[in-house]
Amino acid sequence: MRTLMLATRGALAALAVGCAEPAMTTPESAPADTDNALLTDWTGPFGGVPAFDRMNLDALEPALEAGMAAQLDEIDIIAANPDAPSFENTIVALERSGRALSRVSTYYGIWSSNVSTPEFREIQRAMAPRLAEFDSTIRQNEALFERIRAVYESEDLTTLRPDQQRLVQLVYDGFARNGATLDGDAKTRYAEIEQRLAELHTTFSNNVLADEEGYVTYLSADQLDGLPPSFVQAAAAAATARDREGEYAITNTRSSMDPFLAFSTERDLREQVWRTYYARGDNGDERDNNATIAEILSLRHERVGLLGYDDYATWRLENRMAKTPAQALELMEAVWPAALARVEEEVVAMQAIADAEGAGITVAPWDYRFYAEKVRQSTYDLDSDEVKQYLQLDRLREGVFFVAGELFDFAFREIADGSVPVFHEDVSVWEVTRRSTGAHIGVWYLDPYARPGKRSGAWASSYRSHELIDGQEVTVLGSNNSNFIKPAPGEPVLVSWDDAETFFHEFGHALHYFSSTVDYPTLNGGVRDYTEFQSQLLERWLLTDEVIDGYLRHHETGERMPDELVARIKSAATFNQGFITTEYLACALVDMRFHTSDPDGLDADRFERETLTDLGMPDEIVMRHRSPHFGHIFSSEGYSAGYYGYMWADVLTADAAEAFAEAPDGFYDKELASKLVEHLFAARNAVDPAEAYRAFRGRDATIDALMRDRGFPVP
């Protein structure tokens, strides 16, 4: 999940804001400080692996400083090269720079996302502006940029391979669109803004994490009515881990909040848990993010103004598939009315059940999941807890391995001998090989459980991506990270249907890493409104007969999920799409409004409220990510003015899924799977996304499949 940027800049973005995907690394020479484990070449099996067992926080700041110094020396050599600029001595040399810093960024990303501590966050706060300054130093190196420009404008460019031409374009854009063309005071101010934004992104992220760690709702045994046994056991384990033996902890994360709101009969407690979760970053204390949002938006607007753009979104979307804010809004506004109409229908059905039960309430946001579950059961005879009995995490993992084998020719072998170090005892490791030949591909890490210091949600990370070094392929290192509630000892991990889909989704990102055939690090990036497509598509294999037969089995009896239960799941496929689509689209629309409006004097809380009112947001639903904890757009710039990208990608997903549904052998059609891997996974960002999709499908995607997929009227 990277934007179009240099690999070196990707490394800095990961470091400065703690994103989950540090830049690509390969084992090459380290700086002089070889005693610092964070800098040294990776050793051990598979071409070397991160020394996660030697992570020492005291070594982090010196490692960052040494890594930056080493890369600046490399940049100076490239910029001062007396030979005429060429693809090899400028573009490829730049691709190969910064190896030591990239190694450090892997550890930095782990501390930031998986095992954060107050001590680390102090280092993060101190280093964020330094890293941004370093980033600006490279991008504002006039001699370096002139060499890049010379290659970009050279007549020799047409003699390069298409992927090499695209690399030159991306490298040039990465500099030109980020201040390299500025002069004098404008260049200085641009660098100042970058440094301040790095500080603010870090502050925003750490404020949210602190509220997730600091607010826990503890229950007693008489407050558990309606909660599934597996959830109760996990809540008891979470309380015990926090030295509250005999109580039950509802942590301030989605994986804990969602099922509690769906099943707890204690309405007052539902409201309490709901308010605690949606108030993250919005509690009027020292961790309140509203003023931080206003400053972020103001600085982003000022920065793109220096480059001549009217607003941040126009700058951001220029090199995305959508191209302009207007085209992104056109898609969202085509779906929004249908989503609102469906919400109205859903609320009527829920209110009818509440009235029939004599609840004496008007459905509120903390009731939506609870009564939606009742509607699901009454309309589709579908009980979420019944479905969970067939969704055991270990079997789901084997299910994604099966799909990877059938479509991608990958095989997975667990590495349990301790030869590959891990950063936490919960992490497990697998070798990835070519199933047909046994050829080594890479190493996959799985970090499944929630814990203090780990950011919420689910994500994929790349510790080292595919490239060629002196004609040799580099071993890929990738990971998946989730926040499932760790069960009591000996108990299975049972997950919801949504969580199972998310598990397949994030594994799709990992398959994207392992499928890569590109030669250069930057080409392992992606266009934001396209990179979610491949992972969203993989979700569709969860409900294929082959996965159901082999892996959706009862955790106690081992029996296959019954056909009639599968039929009920399929018939309910469009259930609750009003809620799902509206809570997502509200975020995407507010994001776009934030980044197309004049931020002068902006009050973030009022802006959110007024925008939602203007959109006609239903009272019974809130944004999936309220602004004060909307990390996608405010803890970094990864999804800023780009949250719409999930829906843009879903247009491609629905269209591609129909291609598989129509194929002779369905979702396991070998010919179509081969085209999928070749054009949509292996090529990464070496091919323009629109061209890649046309090569796969034979035409452009349309919105029709998306509307059919969600049960909405086709426009």
Label residues 640-655 b or e (16+ Cβ within 10 Å = b). Answer: bbbbbbbbbbbbbbbb
Asked whether residue 121 falls in the same domain as residue 221, the answer is no
Count of structural domains, the chain:
3
Give the residue from 497, 528, 559 where a domain finishes: 528
Asked whether residue 42 falls in the same domain as residue 123, the answer is yes
- Is residue 495 situated within a structural domain? yes
Burial class of 153 by CB neighbour count within 10 A (0 to 12, 13 to 18, 19+)? exposed
- Is residue 265 situated within a structural domain? yes
Give the residue from 476, 500, 528 where a domain finishes: 528
Give the residue from 473, 501, 528 where a domain finishes: 528
Asked whether residue 239 falls in the same domain as residue 105, the answer is no
Asked whether residue 126 falls in the same domain as residue 13, the answer is yes
Which residues make beta-bridge pairs with 464? Answer: 477
For residue 526, what pLDDT is reported? 84
The residues that are catalytic are 506
Over the stretch 266-289, which tens digit does the pLDDT of each residue have? 999 999 999 999 999 999 999 999
Return the residue matching tokens 């409201």.
271
Domain span including residue 463: 393-528
Task: Give 247's DSSP letter.
Answer: S
CA dihedral 205, 208, 211, 217 (to 10 degrees): -130
Maximum Cα interatomic distance, the chain, rounded to a whole number of Å: 84
Q: Side-chain half-sphere of 557: how many Cα atoms within 13 Å?
A: 7
Over the stretch 490-511, which tens digit does the pLDDT of each residue have? 899 999 999 999 999 999 999 9
- Is residue 135 situated within a structural domain? yes
Asked whether residue 175 falls in the same domain as residue 233, the answer is no
CA dihedral 114, 120, 126, 129 (to 10 degrees): -10
Task: Give 248's DSSP letter.
Answer: E
Residues in the chain, pLDDT under 50: 1-32
Radius of gyration of the CA atoms of the chain, in A: 25
Asked whether residue 169 falls in the same domain as residue 58, the answer is yes
- Is residue 544 situated within a structural domain? no
- Is residue 677 situated within a structural domain? no
Give CA angle at 52 (51, 55), nearest 5°: 95
For residue 715, what pLDDT is reported? 78
- Is residue 523 situated within a structural domain? yes
Asked whether residue 143 falls in the same domain as residue 248, the answer is no
Asked whether residue 150 falls in the same domain as residue 226, the answer is no
To the nearest whole number, what is the mean pLDDT of the chain? Answer: 93
Asked whether residue 77 falls in the same domain as residue 166, the answer is yes
At residue 685, the 3 state secondary structure works out as: coil
Asked whether residue 53 falls in the same domain as residue 11, the answer is yes
For residue 509, what pLDDT is reported? 96
Asked whether residue 14 falls in the same domain as residue 157, the answer is yes
- In whole angstroms, give the CA distance from residue 323 to residue 635: 24
Which residues make beta-bridge pairs with 217? Answer: 250
- Is residue 440 situated within a structural domain? yes
- Is residue 142 situated within a structural domain? yes
For residue 399, what pLDDT is reported? 98
At residue 502, the 3 state secondary structure works out as: helix
List the one residue out of 178, 28, 39 whose CA is nearest residue 96.
28
Asked whether residue 153 falls in the same domain as residue 263, the answer is no
Domain CATH for 404: 3.40.390.10
Task: Give 89's DSSP letter.
Answer: I
For residue 33, what pLDDT is reported? 55
